């Protein structure tokens, strides 16, 4: 079988590496192992993309990474989490124009599959909020908290508590709370070790300097993306989709059993609420086909406003839905609580109440690799 190369692109909460923490380590290792078990010669690369730059700029970085690392004759598979899935779709599209080419680059013709993981194909209302002045501060705070939680296991509870208090009052008096948020973000950065602190500060500066993707991920802007980006008929398109239970009294009562969960649950609840604010004119869904696909996978259709806390579940569907389940936005990348993980490699993000676990993660990876391998066989036939 021809050698394969996987290219993974993170979303706007994602990063290639901060300090010693590899954001895609769980996903990457699981995919490679399954590909080799299926008899494929495989290697992978994580695309170093600007977290919140425009989709076109991010796609250009992805294409440049592919051109620099794909060896002659290798089959190429693009895998994107969150916004990264849109990067992959744009790179694979026959109408792409991300690097000023007058003709499509040679590597384009070796793309065999595009896998999108919890990608906002039809936008997310959360992006509309992040595009506001207060939303930009919240994005920076949640991003800093995410990096700190994944790198340190859990950030100090006092700082998390301060953010919870600030977020809880955002709707009332923005000025004081925004200053408080800025101060907490700075304290989170300073708590990291020197190397990680510098990288996190740089990461946050990039988000502040270029928010092209934040604007483009609004449902209104993604309406235009869908009109202009075509599928490549020679490429397999597959996706995963997940949703977390709507935060309720049970969610809060379970979270109180753990200090970190009790602090992070209100933050997830806030994100979930903002993500549910769909506009009737711009629904984050392809329509009845989404419910049919979810019904086939789950046996029931999720509630109308269901999301993973960042992306509405119906917005995540593009191509064949190969896996669906209960999981939050970062669970599906391997950032979930795993009591069997004695080494502490699996670190949970926020308390979402999804109860995602190793079994669900393995099932999702099995489904993704099954499709990727199928695209290899299809290319060989």
Comparing C-alpha atoms, which of 377, 357, 365, 364 is closest to residue 34? 365
Question: Do the domain assignments include residue 39?
Answer: yes
Answer whether 27's CB lies under 8 Å from 333's CB.
yes
The per-residue pLDDT for 341 is: 67
Tens digits of per-residue pLDDT, 94-105?
877 776 665 678
Phi first, then psi: give them for residue 21, nearest 5 degrees: -95, 125
Q: What angle do CA 362, 366, 372 make, to 5 degrees?
A: 145
Phi first, then psi: give them for residue 62, nearest 5 degrees: -65, -45
Give Cβ neighbours of residue 63 (< 8 Å, ≥ 6 apart).
Answer: 91, 98, 99, 105, 107
Q: Are residues 230 and 330 in the same domain?
A: yes
Domain that holds residue 160: 132-210
Q: Are residues 240 and 345 in the same domain?
A: yes
Q: Are residues 225 and 203 in the same domain?
A: no
- The stretches of the chain forming alpha helices (DSSP H) are 25-37, 55-69, 83-92, 125-130, 133-152, 157-168, 174-191, 194-209, 212-216, 219-228, 249-255, 259-275, 288-298, 358-380
Average pLDDT of the segment spanning 303-311: 96
Tens digits of per-residue pLDDT, 326-374?
999 999 999 888 877 655 577 788 889 899 999 999 999 999 999 999 9
Determine how many CB atoms are found less than 10 A away from the CB of residue 206.
16
Tens digits of per-residue pLDDT, 208-265?
777 888 899 999 999 999 988 999 999 999 999 999 999 876 665 665 666 667 778 8
Q: Are residues 100 and 18 in the same domain?
A: yes
Q: Are residues 151 and 82 in the same domain?
A: no
Answer whether 242's CB lies under 8 Å from 315's CB.
no
Distances (CA, A) of 36 to 41, 235, 370: 6, 21, 12
The per-residue pLDDT for 102 is: 59
Question: Do the domain assignments include residue 277?
Answer: no
Residue 18 has pLDDT above 70, yes or no: no
Question: Do the domain assignments include residue 200?
Answer: yes
Question: Do the domain assignments include residue 265?
Answer: no
Give Cβ neighbours of residue 108 (< 8 Å, ≥ 6 apart).
Answer: 91, 92, 96
The per-residue pLDDT for 250 is: 65
Average pLDDT of the segment spanning 133-146: 82
Question: Do the domain assignments include residue 264?
Answer: no
Residue 176 has pLDDT above 50, yes or no: no
Q: Are residues 38 and 70 in the same domain?
A: yes
How many folded domains does the chain comprise? 2
Residue 149 has pLDDT above 90, yes or no: no
Distances (CA, A) of 98 to 21, 70, 104, 151, 313: 30, 18, 10, 33, 28
Q: Are residues 298 and 329 in the same domain?
A: yes
Q: What percentage of residues in the chain have a pLDDT greater than 90? A: 49
> Does 12 or 128 have the greater pLDDT score?
128
- The CATH number of whichever domain residue 340 belongs to comes to 3.40.50.1820
Phi first, then psi: give them for residue 354, nearest 5 degrees: -75, -25
């Amino acid at each position: 079988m021809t050698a394969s190369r996987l290219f993974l692109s993170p979303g706007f909460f994602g990063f290639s590496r901060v300090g010693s923490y590899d954001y895609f380590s769980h996903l990457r290792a699981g995919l490679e192992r399954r590909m080799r078990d299926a008899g494929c010669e495989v290697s992978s690369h994580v695309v170093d993309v600007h977290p919140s730059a425009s989709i076109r700029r991010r796609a250009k970085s992805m294409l440049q990474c592919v051109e620099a690392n794909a060896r002659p004759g290798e089959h190429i598979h693009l895998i994107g989490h969150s916004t990264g899935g849109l990067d992959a779709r744009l790179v694979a599209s026959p109408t792409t124009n991300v690097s000023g080419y007058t003709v499509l680059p040679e590597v384009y013709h070796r793309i065999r599959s595009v896998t999108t993981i919890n990608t906002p194909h039809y936008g997310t209302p959360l992006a509309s909020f992040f595009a506001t002045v207060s939303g930009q501060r919240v994005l920076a705070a949640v991003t800093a908290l995410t990096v700190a939680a994944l790198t340190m296991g859990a950030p100090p509870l006092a700082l998390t508590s301060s953010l919870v208090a600030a977020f809880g009052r955002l709707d009332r008096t923005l000025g004081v709370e925004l200053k408080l948020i800025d101060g907490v973000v700075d304290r989170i950065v300073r708590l990291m070790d020197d190397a990680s602190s510098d990288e996190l500060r740089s990461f946050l500066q990039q988000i502040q300097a270029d928010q092209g993707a934040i604007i483009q991920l609004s449902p209104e802007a993604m309406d235009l993306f869908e009109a202009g980006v075509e599928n490549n008929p020679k490429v397999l398109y597959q996706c995963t989709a997940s949703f977390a239970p709507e935060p309720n009294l049970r969610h809060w009562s379970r979270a109180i059993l753990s200090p970190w969960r009790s602090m992070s649950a209100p933050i997830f609840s806030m994100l979930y609420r903002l993500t549910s604010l769909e506009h009737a004119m711009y629904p984050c869904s392809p329509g009845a086909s989404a419910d049919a696909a979810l019904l086939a996978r789950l046996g029931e259709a999720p509630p109308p406003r269901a999301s993973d806390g960042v992306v509405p579940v119906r917005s995540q569907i593009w191509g064949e839905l190969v896996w669906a389940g209960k999981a939050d936005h970062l669970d599906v990348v391997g950032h979930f609580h795993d009591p069997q993980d004695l080494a502490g490699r699996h670190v949970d993000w926020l308390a979402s109440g999804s109860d995602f676990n190793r079994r669900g993660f393995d099932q999702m990876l099995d489904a993704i690799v099954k499709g990727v391998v199928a695209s290899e066989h299809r290319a060989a036939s």
